[in-house]
Amino acid sequence: MGVERFVFASSGAVLGDAEPPLHEGLVPRPLSPYGAGKLVGEAYCCAYAGSFGMRTVALRFANVYGPFSRHKRTAVPIFIARCLAGEPLEIYGDGSQTRDFIYVEDLCEGIYRALVAEGTAGEVFQLGTGVETSVSELADTVHELLGGSEVVYRPARSGEVRRSMIDVSKARSMLSFDASVELREGVQRTAQWLRSSR
């Protein structure tokens, strides 16, 4: 086939509403078609490694944010954009739901390390920060950095995972990966990019 290495962008959504910290040993139980589709991709990666010797790696991304994320319908870019526009921040549910937010530069470093690492064919890695942040805490951080914007609470969405935080020990051990950009700094960088690109 001519393809020696293949890195698949997967998601923690394959694990469904598993109790954090999320790690590679948990049994996948996706709650959404999106998560089910990612699980199928992981299975194909494993099968191609086993059947054809292709050096595949599946990476389960945490919640990615950063510059060039204007199109993403996720909390960080939406909160920043609404704050910059003077619009209220909308939280679905009570705000206690949590996520592991990873800055895009850290994610890219993890992808690169997975691409060049040896002895990882057919492996799955969780890529995140290992820090659990509630949506309310995120809203507070954005509000503190950018000012303005009241918070409006909406009904919770069905099929949404309550808690998410990544156990990064396997990526740390086999890929020598550790995220370095803290949420506050990442939000500042993202806001700066969104301002300059308006």
Active site residues: 34
What separation in angstroms does the CA of 153 have from each of 30, 88, 136?
26, 10, 10
Residue 98 backbone dihedrals phi, psi, to 5 degrees: -120, 155
Q: Which residues contact 33 (CB under 8 A, 6 or more apart)?
A: none
Q: Is 175 helix (H, G, I), strand (E, B) or coil?
A: helix
Residue 152 has which token pair?
A: 């409006």
DSSP E strands: which ranges in the chain? Answer: 5-11, 55-61, 63-65, 89-92, 98-99, 101-103, 123-127, 133-134, 151-154
DSSP string, 62-113: -EEESTT-TT--SHHHHHHHHHHTTPPEEEESSS--EE-EEEHHHHHHHHHH
**Distance in angstroms (rounded) separating the CA atoms of residues 159 and 162:** 9
